[in-house]
Every structure is written in structure tokens, then in C-alpha cells.
Amino acid sequence: PLKTEAQIPVEIFAGHERSTVDIMFFKYFKNKQGENSRWLFFNRNRASVDYRMTKTTFFPQFGFTEAISYNHEKLKGFAPVIVGQVLSWGVFPKAGIQYAHISKNMTIFTWLVCETLEKPDLDYFLLFRYTPKITEKVNLFTQVESVNTFPSVSTDNFSFTQRLRLGIQLKTYQFGAGADFNQTGNNTFTKIYNVGGFIRHEF
């Protein structure tokens, strides 16, 4: 089975336009012997507040993602996955294929899932994290994330989000600079970016 850490990391990101709170972790269900089973649980909770918020515009946004995958050793990291998402604008059940490689200093986690609703969207998600040693007590912290939505209806909008983090890791703390980019649209795209700093702690 994959190696997963027991910590629950919480990130606070303060950008020039909005602030976000992000909680994300992986956890295996235990078998009767108390060992990791083949069932992996992925949990992600995000919320953001825009500094320009008024009574009618720039409302807070939130998203809760829960996913369960079946990770058989012979699949070499690939696994079928079911996903449930509760977003600011609705509830979305999804299913597809996942790949995960989780070790002490590197995480590669990605999936391709499709909504099980009528006129579904197709989602591709990628998380890459790399934390190599700089000194005996200090690690580099790098994270790249890509969240992409492809509609099945030609008139609906595409959505592409990239999140970048670069900083230092000291024990259970990580901090540094970051940037979030989002493009939404169809023939023409609205582009939004948010640049700032983050601090992350693993509880």
C-alpha cells in the first residue's frame, strides 16, 4: 500500500485579492488487524473570502471534496475512485480513475473523473508536491496543483485553475510565496489571479 502521513495539513494563504483556508489529507481505512486496507480516503476542504465582498457581489466560496479509492497492489498506483463534491453552487457526484504515489518527500496525486449527472462535466485534477532536504533540519517546499473542468455541452464554460507554492519546510511548518490563477469561459476567457504568501501546519 501507499505510504501516507497521519498529519492533517492546514494552509492559510493571504493574497492581494482574497484569502483562503485549505485542509487536505489522505487516510487509509483500517482492516480488522488495525493495518492499512486497500481503501484510501481523500479529504479536501477549501474556503475563500474576497476583500472586495459586498452585499451583492464577490461572495465567499467554499468546496468540500470527499473521495474513496480501491488501491490494489497490482494496479501500480492506479485505482478506481468515486468522488462527492459539495461546492458553493451545488452537489456533484463523480466517478473515474485515480493515480497516487505518496512518499516522505514526494506526492503525485491525480484523477480523471466524470460527473454522474445529466450533461456531465469532465474533471482532471493534479497535485504534485516535492520537499527535498536543503540541510539536516530544513526542506524545500514546492507544490503545483492543476484543477480543470471540461464541459460536455459546447456552450458551457471551461475552467482552468493552477495553484503554485514555493517555500521552506521546518519540522511541521511550511511557509513561503504562492500564486493562484484561474481562467473561465468558452470562446473568450475571464482571467483571475491572486498572489501572496502562505503558511502551512501539519497537525
Q: What pLDDT score does 79 carry? A: 98
- Give the C-alpha separation, 195 to 164, whole Å: 10
Q: What pLDDT score does 72 carry? A: 94
Q: Under a CB-based contact definition with an 8 Å cutoff, are residues 165 and 175 in contact?
A: no
Closest CA to 123 of 155, 164, 82, 71: 82
pLDDT digits (tens, 9 = 90+) for 16-61: 999 999 999 989 898 888 888 999 999 999 999 999 999 899 999 9
- Strand bridging mode 61-70 / 106-115: unpaired
Q: What pLDDT score does 6 carry? A: 54
The pTM of the full predicted model, rounded to 2 decimals, is: 0.90
Q: What pLDDT score does 90 carry? A: 92
Alpha helices per DSSP H over 4-105: none
Q: What pLDDT score does 3 carry? A: 53
For the chain, residues with pLDDT lower than 50 are none
Q: At CB < 8 A and 24+ separation, what contacts does 82-91 make?
A: 83/111, 83/113, 87/62, 87/63, 88/59, 88/60, 88/61, 88/62, 88/63
User: Any idea what DSSP says for residue 163?
Assistant: E
